[in-house]
A and B are shown apart, each in its own frame.
Chain A
Amino acid sequence: MSGSTRWGRWAIPLAAIPVIVLLAYGFRTDPRAIPTPLVGKPAAAFRLKTFDGPEISLEGLRGRVVVINFWASWCYPACYEEAPVLERGWRAYKDREVMLVGINIQDKEEPAKRFLAQFGHTFPNAPDPAGRVSVDYGVYGVPETFFIDRAGRIRAKHVGAVTDAIFSANVDRLLAERP
């Protein structure tokens, strides 16, 4: 009895250690950040009617670097923080084969239009009423921004408000690639 128990009795306190270590590892993870499996994959096609009237589709944008931003008028404060960034980015790059499209999800028309008016967005924005496009892009919150290369593949995804630096870094990188 004594032989195995002498050693075995310390097994229990020692067994606690790996559990504690695992829990400590938890501090390094963010349970809310879901890694996307879509980077490197072709971006899902969509055809939406913008708030202004004309339709916009991903196919029609082939050959250009495309930035898609998912937003909502109730997404406070992040969407409000990044809105000026997006407009600035658009104005800087719009003559350089870059397209910026805003997709409005789970929102009502009036507040969405008010949001657009408030920030004076000049790039196309379209509502996604049934959420098909947002699910097609694996969106799980707002704002989320996707950077798509000229060949139509998703190359980067940014969750949360974009900054000028993030916007230009990604667009420049994709622009530099020859089609």
Chain B
Amino acid sequence: MTPEIGYAATIVAFGLALYGSIASAIAGRTGRRPLVASSERAAVGVLVLVTACMLLLIYAFLTFDFSVRYVAINTNRGTPFYYRITGLWGALEGSIILWTWMLALYTLIVVVQYRRRHPEFYPWVLSAMMGIAAFFLLVMTIPAPPFERLTPVPPDGRGLNPLLQDSGMITHPVALYLGFTGFTVPFAFALAALATGRIGDEWITITRRWTVIAWYFLALGLLIGGWWSYHVLGWGGYWAWDPVENAAVLPWLTGTALLHSVMIQERRRMLKIWNLTLVILTFSLTIFGTFLTRSGIIGSVHAFTQGTIGAFFLGFLALVLLTSFSLLAWRMDRLKAQGELDSIFSRESVFLLNNVFLVAAAFTVFFGTIFPLLSEAVRGVKVSVGAPFFNLVNIPLFLGLLILMGVGPLIAWRRASADNLRRNFLMPTAVGVAAAVIARALGIANSLVLLCIAAVVFVTGTIVLDFLRAVRARRRSGDGWAAATLGLLRRQNRRYGGFVVHLGILVVALGVAGSNAWSLHTETTLGRGESAELGGYRVRFDGLRASEESNHFKVTGTFTISSGVGSRDVLYPAKKFYAQEQNPIAYVDYRLGLIEDVYLVLGDFARDGSQATIKLQVNRMVSWLWLGGLVLTLGTGLAILPDRKKAA
């Protein structure tokens, strides 16, 4: 019964979403309020139905209902309990449900928040969001129905992909999708602005927080993805420039550009066309990312499957691009910048540069990702575009962005006088250069790392300088240090939240630079009792142990690591043999540290336990990436605090 109910719910939800979208649009055009109310009720209905679908599917998971094909593929009787719930989004159909559910939820939040406050935009925003939800529900109905029946009913399921049986899988898609779907709201508002002709700054002011939150979740999702790759996949890296990774970072790059360029529109009323373009592009890139992951046109470690679903997404992408940009072209006359500029040395210029670098990086990643396809289409020759290319082109851009991060917040609007430049940047520049010189003296020879260090110190210097000055200014009115600091953070939470986010990015940048420049690797075969040495650590192979787990057979190695300091630890890397997988899955064991991680992968081994091949890595600075994520969280939290009402 469950599959039938679920399928019916999907179809009804699709109908409601389609109805709501059309009704809302008509309401927007003609002003008929009852249609809006009706559409709101449809939105509620959609959320209820999609939630029901989710719960039905989870119920099927929990009760081992193998008559549902999705359940049979993604779970088996040995799957642990929590993976039977979170495994919901472990494969294609479930991931679509998750996305649709978030969309429905966001739509309802939009309903609650904006129905009274912005009556002119509201019907169009609702229409756009329900239209997008309708598309995803259509996908759930036709190419990717989650409730397809399986006959005959198998006695046991296949099981969740072992690589996904990890905490990263539980959180990574959720964070990532919160980010992707979050960008739907600013996009819907942009469409509403274009449709109503109210293309002033309203839509930006309203959606500012949505953009920040969506950006944050996307960043978080990317970092969790990196963490998952690092501790599960066994290669000791966190980013491979895999096509699907690239597809997720594209909207993040343009989203970052958007976050900054809206500030120019808010303060100076410029860049209106550009901001609309950016938000359309960012949303389109989220659809493009989904398309890439699910269409199978580019091979990737993430790619789910093929079939007709790719065609659906491509069609939708085409619809989105053509409609939105045509609307923009139609309204372009009305979008004139109203501000002026006196000098190229101004915050406006710096923000423009920031946008250029970010969009150039996005374009590079995009072009590199589809170039194999282009090469095959034009010449019939298959080529690969991988890490060497992306690193080469993107590193200078990112270094440039780091430096801009320090210049932007402090340089004056419109025109920075020589005085302003000196006051704000002389000290940080000097300190940055000094830091690079000291690093060089300490033996760091890699020029990219030195540049990175200089940039990081420079930016930190500007942040500290600005912060101290501001605190001191507040202190003059009598506050103590603590009160002045807290008051400042609260009053100007957007600015200082932004600074903290910048600091988070700096931490991540140091992690990336350090891990690439200073990590050590070795691969060797050890007999029992033998040791390998790397980076001051000695790893001794003590033996192998076999065990039977709930859904796999496991061979665990015991390795004792000792460092010069005398501390000892034992690592248990393993190889897991799952019945449904062809190749064994490596289970990495590691010890994390602030400066370095010891990372051990078990390779080949002799049956009798006398020998084992290991891949040993001492990865430096990787933990800084995760720490940076923590700082990002703090900064974003600070930045989105509600504005305090100014005292009368």
Residues of A within 8 A of B318 (CB): 16, 20
Q: Mark A1-34, 1 if CB is under 8 A from B, else 0.
A: 0000100011011001101101111110101101
Residue from A12, A19, A24, A32 with most neighbouring chain B CB atoms (10 Å)? A12
Contact A34 B373 (CB under 8 A): no
Contact B370 A20 (CB under 8 A): no
Interface residues on B, range: 20 to 34
Contact B291 A23 (CB under 8 A): yes
A29 to B383, CA, bound (A): 13
CB contact under 8 A between A29 and B297, given known A13-B326, A22-B374, A34-B382: yes
Contact A27 B310 (CB under 8 A): yes
Residue from A10, A23, A29 with most neighbouring chain B CB atoms (10 Å)? A23
Residues of B within 8 A of A10 (CB): 326, 329
Residues of A within 8 A of B345 (CB): none
Contact B377 A24 (CB under 8 A): no
Q: Flag whether A75 is at the interface (Cβ < 8 A).
A: yes
Q: Flag whether B394 is at the interface (Cβ < 8 A).
A: no
Residues of A within 8 A of B298 (CB): 26, 31
- Chain B residue nearest in CB terms to A75: B582
Q: Flag whether B150 is at the interface (Cβ < 8 A).
A: no
Contact A9 B332 (CB under 8 A): yes
Residues of B within 8 A of A75 (CB): 582
A169 to B544, CA, bound (A): 50
B305 CB, nearest partner CB in chain A, Å: 13
Q: Flag whether A35 is at the interface (Cβ < 8 A).
A: yes
Contact A9 B329 (CB under 8 A): yes
Contact A26 B295 (CB under 8 A): yes
Residue from A9, A10, A24, A26 with most neighbouring chain B CB atoms (10 Å)? A26
Q: Interface residue count for A (Cβ, 8 Å)?
A: 23
A125 CB, nearest partner CB in chain B, Å: 20
In the complex, which residues 62-81 of chain A have their Cβ closer than 8 Å to any Cβ of chain B? 74-76
Contact B314 A24 (CB under 8 A): yes
- Chain A residue nearest in CB terms to B322: A13
Residues of A within 8 A of B321 (CB): 13, 16, 20
Contact B582 A23 (CB under 8 A): no
A130 CB, nearest partner CB in chain B, Å: 12
- Chain A residue nearest in CB terms to B306: A27
CB contact under 8 A between A26 and B332, given known A16-B318, A16-B322, A20-B318: no
A52 to B74, CA, bound (A): 42
In the complex, which residues 351-387 of chain B have their Cβ closer than 8 Å to any Cβ of chain A? 370, 372-374, 376-377, 382
- Chain A residue nearest in CB terms to B299: A31
B394 CB, nearest partner CB in chain A, Å: 21
A9 to B331, CA, bound (A): 10
CB contact under 8 A between A20 and B297, given known A5-B332, A25-B373: no
- Chain A residue nearest in CB terms to B381: A35
**Dominant SS at the A interface?**
helix
Contact B373 A26 (CB under 8 A): yes
Residues of B within 8 A of A22 (CB): 370, 373-374, 377
Contact B370 A12 (CB under 8 A): no
Which of B295, B299, B325, B372 is close to A16, meaning CB atoms less than 8 Å apart?
Answer: B325
Residues of B within 8 A of A24 (CB): 314
Contact A32 B299 (CB under 8 A): yes
Residues of B within 8 A of A19 (CB): 370
CB contact under 8 A between A26 and B382, given known A9-B329, A13-B325, A76-B582: no
Residues of A within 8 A of B314 (CB): 20, 23-24
Q: Flag whether B484 is at the interface (Cβ < 8 A).
A: no
Contact B296 A31 (CB under 8 A): yes
Q: Flag whether B592 is at the interface (Cβ < 8 A).
A: no
Contact A12 B325 (CB under 8 A): yes
B125 CB, nearest partner CB in chain A, Å: 22
A24 to B370, CA, bound (A): 12
A27 to B370, CA, bound (A): 13
A14 CB, nearest partner CB in chain B, Å: 9
A61 CB, nearest partner CB in chain B, Å: 31
Residues of A within 8 A of B582 (CB): 74-76
Contact B370 A23 (CB under 8 A): yes
A9 to B297, CA, bound (A): 31
Q: Mark B252-293, 1 if CB is under 8 A from A, else 0.
A: 000000000000000000000000010000000000000100
Contact A29 B373 (CB under 8 A): yes
Residues of A within 8 A of B325 (CB): 12-13, 16
Residues of A within 8 A of B297 (CB): 23, 26-27, 29, 31
Q: Flag whether B328 is at the interface (Cβ < 8 A).
A: yes
In the complex, which residues 424-478 of chain B have their Cβ closer than 8 Å to any Cβ of chain A? none
B62 CB, nearest partner CB in chain A, Å: 30
Residues of B within 8 A of A74 (CB): 582-583
Residues of B within 8 A of A31 (CB): 296-299, 372
Q: Mark B384-404, 1 if CB is under 8 A from A, else 0.
A: 000000000000000000000
Residues of B within 8 A of A26 (CB): 295, 297-298, 373
Contact A25 B299 (CB under 8 A): no
Residues of B within 8 A of A12 (CB): 277, 325, 328-329
- Chain A residue nearest in CB terms to B292: A23
A9 to B332, CA, bound (A): 7
Q: Mark B323-335, 1 if CB is under 8 A from A, else 0.
A: 0011011001000
Task: List 15 additional contacts besides A12-B329, A13-B321, A13-B326; criterion CB under 8 Å.
Answer: A9-B329, A10-B326, A12-B325, A13-B322, A13-B325, A16-B321, A19-B370, A22-B370, A23-B370, A23-B373, A25-B377, A26-B297, A27-B295, A31-B299, A74-B583
Binding site for B on A (CB under 8 A): 5, 9-10, 12-13, 16-17, 19-20, 22-27, 29, 31-32, 34-35, 74-76
Question: What are the 3 tightest A-B residue pairs by CB atom distance, in nearest-first order?
Answer: A26-B297, A31-B299, A13-B325
Query: Would you list 26 pairs from A and B whose C-beta atoms are within 8 A, ordered by A residue?
Result: A9-B329, A9-B332, A12-B277, A12-B328, A13-B322, A13-B326, A13-B329, A16-B321, A16-B322, A16-B325, A17-B322, A20-B314, A22-B377, A23-B291, A23-B370, A26-B295, A26-B298, A27-B295, A27-B297, A27-B311, A29-B297, A29-B376, A29-B377, A31-B296, A31-B298, A32-B299
Binding site for A on B (CB under 8 A): 277, 291, 295-299, 310-311, 314, 317-318, 321-322, 325-326, 328-329, 332, 370, 372-374, 376-377, 382, 582-583
